[in-house]
Structure 1
Amino acid sequence: MAAITEGVARKSAGARGFAREFQEFLLKQNVVALAVGVVIGAAVGKVVSGVVDDVIMPIVGLVLPAGDWRQAKLALGGNNAILYGDLVGRLLDFAIVALVVFLILRALVRRPAPAPAPAMKGCQFCLETIPAAATRCRACGSTV
């Protein structure tokens, strides 16, 4: 009976160790942050697709020639054809989606202002450029 209890205790400790190791993996490898990013990315993708399909494409439809231009094709014989209308439509969709994503990101994400360059001065002996607050030249060791 003691051997069975001892075996169960070892398996339980092993399971706890595995669970702890798995938890550390999730936290250290940023798996949770990646999952959140994927979910948010999918939601943003739906919003962008909605803007493109419901707002921009109707306006593009007014500018393009009448008819179902996405069905345009070059017949090769039999049932074979090059569907250039579909290809042009996909390229146009991609360009519009990329533009909308760019505009949204540009509006939401601001770049930090570049840090000002540190003040520098030149060593009068060796002409090495050194920080303005330096009291000795790092190249020749003279007092500046």
Structure 2
Amino acid sequence: MAAAKKSAKKPTAKKIVEETELKAADVIKKSHLAGFATFIREQGVVGLAVGLAIGAAAGDTVKKLVQAFIDPLVQLIVGSQAGLQAASFTVKFGNRQGVFLYGAFVSSLITLLATALVVYLIVHLLHLDKLDKAKE
């Protein structure tokens, strides 16, 4: 009997770790955590979060770029940035009137287009658009 007990193999530390990892993996697969982990992995949420963080950090830089280079161009064309933002026209019907502040919209549109152009150029020139792999 003593020989039979000695011949049975004792589990090694590596075997115990592997079994524990398998049990942990089974628990994760059976829980809601697995669905969440799958969602994160399949939908690229981590990449989205990284992109959002970088985009937020780059937002201030793009704003400064617009203020330094685009706003002076607008000032050359229309006179002044403040003048552009204050541009409006008034429509009167009888004793009523409506004031349309189109200048603020045009100024905001110029900033949006300049921001989009800068982001496009950064992504395109640094070939960041090639980093994503195609979804299968």
What range is the shorter-chain TM-score in?
A: 0.5 to 0.7
Match of 1:71 among 86, 93, 98: 86
If the length of structure 2 is used for normalisation, what is the TM-score?
0.54
Aligned-residue Cα RMSD (Å) equals 3.2
C-alpha deviation, 1:34, in angstroms: 4.2
What runs of 5+ residues in structure 2 fail to find an aligned partner? 1-26, 132-136
What runs of 5+ residues in structure 1 fail to find an aligned partner? 1-16, 113-144
Q: Which has the higher contact order (CA 8 A, sep 6+)?
A: 2
Task: Give me the identity figure in percent.
Answer: 19
| 1:77-103 Cα shifts (integer Å, max 9, x gaps) | 467321211111121112111111111
Structure 2 matches for 1:1-144, cutoff 5 A?
20-30=30-40, 34-63=44-73, 64=75, 65-68=79-82, 69-77=84-92, 80-106=98-124, 107-109=126-128, 111=130
Q: Which amino acid in structure 2 is aligned with residue 97 of structure 1?
A: T
| Contact kept in structure 2, 1:48 and 1:97, CA below 8 Å | no
| 1:39-62 Cα shifts (integer Å, max 9, x gaps) | 323222223321221123222222
CA separation of 1:28 and 1:110: change in aligned 2, threshold 3 A: closer
Aligned length: 97
DSSP 3-state at the match of 1:80:
strand
DSSP 3-state at the match of 1:30:
helix
Q: Point out the structure with the larger helix share.
A: 2
